[in-house]
Amino acid sequence: MLDTSTMTPSTANAVLESWNAVDAAQAAREILPCCGSHAWADGVTARRPFASAVDLLAASDEVWWALAERDWQEAFDSHPRIGQQHAKTATAESLQWSAQEQRAAMSHDEALKAALADGNRRYEEKFGRIFIVCASGRSAAEILNILERRMENTPDVELREAAEQQRQITNLRLRRWLGVE
């Protein structure tokens, strides 16, 4: 469900007005760092114009859930592993956002860092992709607990969980992009 309690309509409307006015290629480039999937960026862009942030967020969710698994994977690949600063495919802006989102998860506890690295490795071996979690505001210990719980998922259940986490990350980034976080 969309939480619109912190959105400032005037800020979001100014960003949307400008974004609605640019050509489709530029609009897709501008919004791509919010998700990392070109199909998502193109799909959301094709639904313009948006009158409000709520409309944009709703369209984002609809487009996201209609994408193919390969498009989800492209978004997943745009993220660094928890505790790292590089990704298979990412824009400078999305890497900066990832660092901000993971700030609370950065631990100085070497044992916890090692456990996260081991968990990431085991997750990738089991599911064939990096572990995706909406890390914003979560500690390293919380993330490790989530990772361990999700290791029990079947591949199909875990794909949907990873997709939901990506959707949450995308919504946070859209709010940031709109200036209403």
Active centre residues (catalytic) = 79
Task: Cite the beta strand spans of the chain per DSSP E.
Answer: none
- Do 50 and 20 touch, CB atoms closer than 8 A? yes
First to last CA, the chain: 16
How many angstroms separate the CA atoms of 165 and 148, rounded? Answer: 15
**Tokens describing residue 71:** 């498009």
Measure the CA–CA gap between 108 and 23, rounded to whole angstroms: 45
Is 103 buried (19+), middle (13-18) or exposed (0-12) by CB count in 10 A?
exposed
Length of the chain: 181
